[in-house]
Structure 1
Amino acid sequence: MRVLQIGHSPDADDLFMYYAIAFGWVSHENIAFHNLALDIQTLNQKALQGTLDISAISFSVYPLLFQEQCLLRTGVSFGKGYGPKLIKKKGKSLKRNFKVALSGAHTTNAMLFKIAYPNARIVYKNFLDIENAVLSGEVDAGVLIHESILQYDENLEIEREICEIWCALNKQDLPLPLGGMCIRRSLPLSVAIICEQMLTKAVKIALENKSLLSKMLEERNLIRVDSNQLETYLNLYANEDSISLSQTQLNAINALFKIGYDYKIYTQILSVEDCLIPLEYADFRNS
């Protein structure tokens, strides 16, 4: 039995898409997973370091690690007219060099924010601490992610949606690429293909058994929102579009990579099609 280390965030969509495996609904005779729930910036850092076999990541970090990691087609989260929110205290005017709290240097929202607000003074915090940092006056503004976008203090208001920045930069009607998954290239290709199949099946089964799985996650206190908010959040980020990358989603990722190159965040332009596991290997191997 090969046991692989897999990292995902503790937010509801990642838990929902993975836990069909944790609950034993999806399994394999030769492969098992040991899962770790970590905040997205820690996952990005671990992916850069190659310390996990499989990890959830921000799409924006992938060009920095593509030589060591392949992208998986499944477990993806996109924003279609919604996503992270730049918030501030109601009535507050932000100066050009306002102080802002972001959830991590390698997150997609951080990349887009830094392009739109090059003079902002950035501090990085755990995403759970950003709202209080704004309320306390420690920072002038903050970017809320995950379930925090659903409900926040009544003394706060939205300054700008990150998806607005995305739309202005890509100039196309494309969804905002937020989170995906990667797998170490050093794993045998046959193992990587099986892992992608298992994770894809887990997302499918989760969606087919949405009510039951949601109830089980709630009963085990694995999520931070109530049942109504969970339903809303899963509809946004863990849905039919999360099962496997579509051509529109591939186009969106390529647009993100090009924006990063144009703004000198990346040293070369990647084509996402070249970053995926070559599934034809399985057919060739078994032919």
Structure 2
Amino acid sequence: MSEKMAVTLGFSPCPNDTYIFNALVHGQVPLTRLSLAGVQLEDVETLNDWALQGRLDISKLSFHAFGHIRDQYALLQAGSALGRGCGPLLITGKGDKPIDIADWKIAIPGTYTTAALLLRLYQPACRHLVVMRFDRIMEALAEGTVDGGVIIHESRFTYRQFGLHCIQDLGEWWEQATGLPIPLGCIAAKKTLPIDVREEIDAAIQASIHWAEAHPGEGWDYIRAHAQEMNPQVMQSHIDLYVNQYSKGLGEEGLHAVRELLRRGAEARLFPAGADLA
């Protein structure tokens, strides 16, 4: 057998990603053509920035970021966060703020997040955007340092505890506008990797999900070790929401949704029209 190709892999510490990748990174999924030379768990905007630099071979990233790098990275079929009823939320607090939402100071969880892309598509006039880590946005709203915020991940389950309320479910807006599920995040691999290596990592991610389903509860130490929100019910809700049929394979509808998001983003000149997904 020829020597395995060593590749680097990155994904977020959120429960859906640690659930998906647990079996793969802990050797429960056999690899024949490749080996993992390094695994990085980072905030999605850090991964987006790294993808723009071409730092990792295989990485989770926002579909917004993918719009900027699809000439260098190929979309994999497995591991995506895409679905219905799972989009980012535009929220606000009770303090005084400008009447026109275009004048609001709005916190976004990263320049290249799909949350930021959806906000720009929903309200193109919004320009006073403040970039901050996703886990700081609710606190900033509660303190009144911003007028609104776009929240993702576990925050959508806990924002009411901060006395905050939802102005617009951006995923719901997308679904009503297009009839399609909302593409949030994906796994992409460098196009310089051989096709058979890309195919193997794709199959391995899918196998890792099947292993997690067949061994409920066995990955909880790993999931809990990296989660921002420690409440078991919140973590399980997060997994249930973001790990679904599209995580195992995008399928025709999933690919249609991805192409539509990229088309609209390019039409709005938020990134250039680019190469196809593969």
Report the TM-score, using the length of structure 2 for normalisation.
Answer: 0.90
Summarize deviations over 1:45-77 as a string: whole Å, max 9, x none.
Answer: 111111100000111222211111110000011
Partner residue in 1 for 2:266: 261
Shift of 1:92: 5.0
- Deviation track 1:135-156 (CA, whole Å, cap 9, x = no partner) reads 1111111111111111123411
Equivalences, count: 269
CA contact (8 A) 1:112 1:165 kept: no
1:130 aligns with 2:137: yes
C-alpha distance in 1 between matches for 2:189 and 2:274: 20
Match of 2:181 among 172, 175, 178: 175
% identity of equivalent residues: 28
- Structure 1 gaps of 5+ residues are 277-287
Gaps of 5+ in 2: none
Q: Deviations over 1:182-210 (max 9, x none)?
A: 00111122222222221221122122223
Structure 2 distance, partners of 1:229, 1:101, is: 23
> Which has the bigger relative contact order, CA under 8 A and spacing at least 6?
2
Map residues 1-287 of structure 1 onto 2, 5 A cutoff: 1-33=4-36, 34-90=38-94, 92-94=96-98, 95=100, 96-117=102-123, 118-152=125-159, 153-167=161-175, 171-213=177-219, 215-217=220-222, 221-223=225-227, 224-268=229-273, 274-276=276-278
Shift of 1:29: 4.3
* Separation in structure 1 between the aligned mates of residue 274 and residue 194 of structure 2, nearest angstrom: 26
Report the Cα offset of residue 23 of structure 1.
2.1
In structure 2, do the counterparts of structure 1 residues 49 and 112 end up closer, same or farther at CA, with 3 Å as the change threshold? Answer: same
Tell me the amino acid that sits aligned with residue 22 of structure 1. Answer: V
Q: Deviations over 1:128-177 (max 9, x none)?
A: 11111111111111111111111123411111111133235xx3321110
2:135 & 2:204 partners in 1: Cα distance? 30
Q: Distance in 1 between matches of 2:55 and 2:257?
A: 28
Contact 1:147/1:225 (8 A) holds in 2: no
Q: 1:228, 1:164 → 2: CA distance?
A: 23
Partner Cα distance (2:195, 2:15) in 1: 30
Scaled by the length of structure 1, the TM-score of the pair is 0.87
One-letter amino acid of the counterpart of residue 148, structure 2: A
- Counterpart CA distance in 2 for 1:39 and 1:66 is 20
CA RMSD of aligned residues (A): 1.9
Structure 1 position 86, deviation (Å): 1.0
1 CA distance for matches of 2:132 and 2:126?
19
Output the CA distance in 1 between the equivalents of 2:174 and 2:96.
24
